[in-house]
Amino acid sequence: MTVGNAGTADADILRIANLTKTYGRFSALKSVSLSVRRGSIHGLLGENGAGKSTLVGMISGQRQPTSGTITLNGIEVQGHDVKEMEKAGVFLVTQEPMIIDHMSVAENLLLGIWPRKGWLIDWKRLRRDAARMLQDTDIDPGQRAGTLDAVARRKLNILRAMFSGGRVVILDEPTASLDVEARQQLFAFMRRLKAEGVTFIFISHYNDEILEICDAVSVLRDGELAGGSDDVGEMTSDMLSELVLGRGLSLFQRQRRTFGADEAAIVVEGVRARNVAVDAFRIHPGEIVGFAGLPGAGAKEFARCLFGLVHAKDGTMRLEPNSPAVKLPGHPFEAYRRGIAFLSDDRRKDGLVGHLSIGANMSLSSLPALSRRGFVDVEAEREIISRYFAGMGVKAPNPEVAIDTLSGGNQQKVCLGRVLATEPKLLILDEPTRGIDVGVKQDVHRIIDELSGQGVAVIVVTTDSDEMIRLVDRVCVFSAGSIVGELTGEAISKDRLRQISG
Ligand SMILES: Nc1ncnc2c1ncn2[C@@H]1O[C@H](COP(=O)(O)OP(=O)(O)OP(=O)(O)O)[C@@H](O)[C@H]1O
């Protein structure tokens, strides 16, 4: 093993030449070459399954290349692993922060490298070092990490990488599920670190983010380098989409619908749960309603109450106009039986079963409906699988493939296919296109639009303002657990949504 030496004056901190990665006969990355300038923010863009994680996995030492070279600080890196790459200053920071909630921020920050005095941990120095690092951030070193919000958790992870000697920090979709304001905070933080000489590789599916924060960009398509630029200033969003997709992008925009107060509606009343106090909420069959608000404002919690994932001590719902109002479901299984489906924003916790096939994961939630006296209707199951495997454009040779070999975005498509397959009356989607590329996002929006056309009522909880503007008929604004306002028509705009999250 050899690793780079930080002393070189080379303008490129990292050079990749002819990098290839194969899995059996499948090539996830095909002879990719690119350079990353020292002290720059380098965007990495590409469709789901294009090879972004594979590439950064090799740069960070998580995966071994099949062939090709990686040069760090002018020295070729060979036979590396994560530990050695971290020692050389390369850190991969994933979406899910590795944080121990019951420890303080300072302890988390210096985890594994706590300063010692002989056999003892030097607490005084630990606190002093942590306070120095956290200067200019709004994070208190003594605070328990479990109480930090999403953006502070991501900052903490980046700082931890830097404190361990990180000079090249790879951020894999760091803005997923962050609202507009939190994204801006994260970007300001990255700019500050960049000014101190840190180099970032930044993976994102959002063209506007790449254009806003990156200096350079590389675009992967089907495992190959499709193009890029050393000067993002000369790129436009359309140019990026064209490189990502290999064709122009046609953006979806829903023809917004309005519903009269006397039209049939699903009615929810008197909901009281921890952090939720919603007196009344109505949604019509065929309507798409967006939920917006700051994290903790109650939007997610209310959505979870409707599906029985959060216990509501009070609250009723009426799914059909003439049916009696019944208590909110006590359990997700009860919710499914009533015709309510839910897509979680955390596919790892509530979503996928890693060792099962794509098909098995897709039909999982429909099995009760497909079973007769304990036997599954295999034909009907097969039909569901093939419809949603093709419909969602899952990138895999066939539905028999194990789900854990899929890229993150393709796993998200399987989750979505699974809830859609239950053919619900009320569909609740929490961050439905998180991690999904710009092309498939339009397809997902079209599918949701079509479902609403068939009379499904759809709730979309999203921090993606573009998604909100293009997909929903009406926005419910949450604050302190309640619905405090509504936006319709032209009022559903970027500025208004920014005010809500500001
Ligand atoms: N262990 C594996 N076995 C087989 N194929 C794999 C394995 N790991 C990744 N792949 C395949 O390699 C390709 C590239 O995946 P990768 O995760 O790099 O994509 P990505 O660009 O990061 O996508 P996303 O935007 O969805 O995260 C995908 O088709 C994926 O299914």
Looking at every residue in the chain, the average pLDDT score rounds to 86
pLDDT band at 394 (very low <50, low <70, confident <90, very high): confident
- For the chain, the 3-state helix, strand and coil shares in percent, each to the nearest 5, are 35, 25, 35
- What is the number of the ligand 1 atom nearest to the C-alpha of 29? 14
Q: Which residues of 63-82 are buried (b: 16+ CB within 10 A; e: fewer)?
A: bebeebebbbbeeebeebee
* One-letter-per-residue 3-state SS of 9-56: CCCEEEEEEEEEEEECCEEEEEEEEEEEECCCEEEEEECCCCCHHHHH
What is the average pLDDT across 279-308? 93
pTM: 0.81
Q: Is the dihedral of CA 413, 419, 422, 423 positive or negative?
A: negative
The predicted structure's pLDDT at residue 223: 95
Q: Are strands 41-46 and 216-221 parallel, antiparallel or unpaired?
A: parallel
DSSP codes, 437-497? -HHHHHHHHHHHHHHHHTT-EEEEE-S-HHHHHHH-SEEEEEETTEEEEEEEGGG-SHHHH
Q: For residue 363, give every residue at least 6 positions away whose Cβ sits within 8 Å of its Cβ, in sequence order, or none.
A: 370, 381, 384, 385, 418, 421
Q: What CA–CA distances, in Å, run from 366 to 418, 424, 443?
A: 8, 10, 22
Domain 12-99+148-245, CATH 3.30.450.150 — does that match?
no
Assign 292 to helix, strand or coil: strand
Distance 151 CA to ligand 1 centre (A): 27
Contact assessment for residue 77 and residue 90, using Cβ atoms and an 8 Å cutoff: no
Distance 408 CA to ligand 1 centre (A): 8
Residue whose structure tokens are 């923010």? 41
- Phi and psi torsions of 219, nearest 5°: -115, 130
Ligand 1 pocket mutation pick from 398, 406, 414, 416 by most atoms within 8 angstroms of CB:
406
Domain pair 12-99+148-245 / 266-501, same fold? yes
Q: How many CA atoms lie within 13 A of 380 on its CB side?
A: 13
pLDDT over threshold 70, residue 1 = no
pLDDT band at 210 (very low <50, low <70, confident <90, very high): very high
Structure tokens of 13? Answer: 């901190």
The predicted structure's pLDDT at residue 372: 63
Q: Which fold has domain 266-501?
A: Rossmann fold (3.40.50)
What are the tens digits of pLDDT across the range 32-89? 999 999 999 999 999 988 999 999 999 999 999 999 999 999 999 876 788 888 888 8
Assign 421 to helix, strand or coil: coil
Separation between Cα atoms, residue 203 and residue 173, nearest integer Å: 5
pLDDT over threshold 90, residue 212 = yes
What does the domain layout of the chain look like in residue ranges? 12-99+148-245, 266-501
Quickly count: other Cβ atoms within 10 Å of residue 387's Cβ: 14
Q: Is the dihedral of CA 409, 410, 415, 418 positive or negative?
A: positive
The predicted structure's pLDDT at residue 86: 87
Q: For residue 20, give every residue at least 6 positions away whose Cβ sits within 8 Å of its Cβ, in sequence order, or none.
A: 27, 29, 30, 31, 32, 65, 66, 67, 68
Nearest to residue 15, comparing CAs of 36, 32, 31? 36
Ligand 1 neighbours by CB, cut-off 6 Å = 23, 26, 28, 46, 48-54, 395, 405-410, 437
Distance 195 CA to ligand 1 centre (A): 33
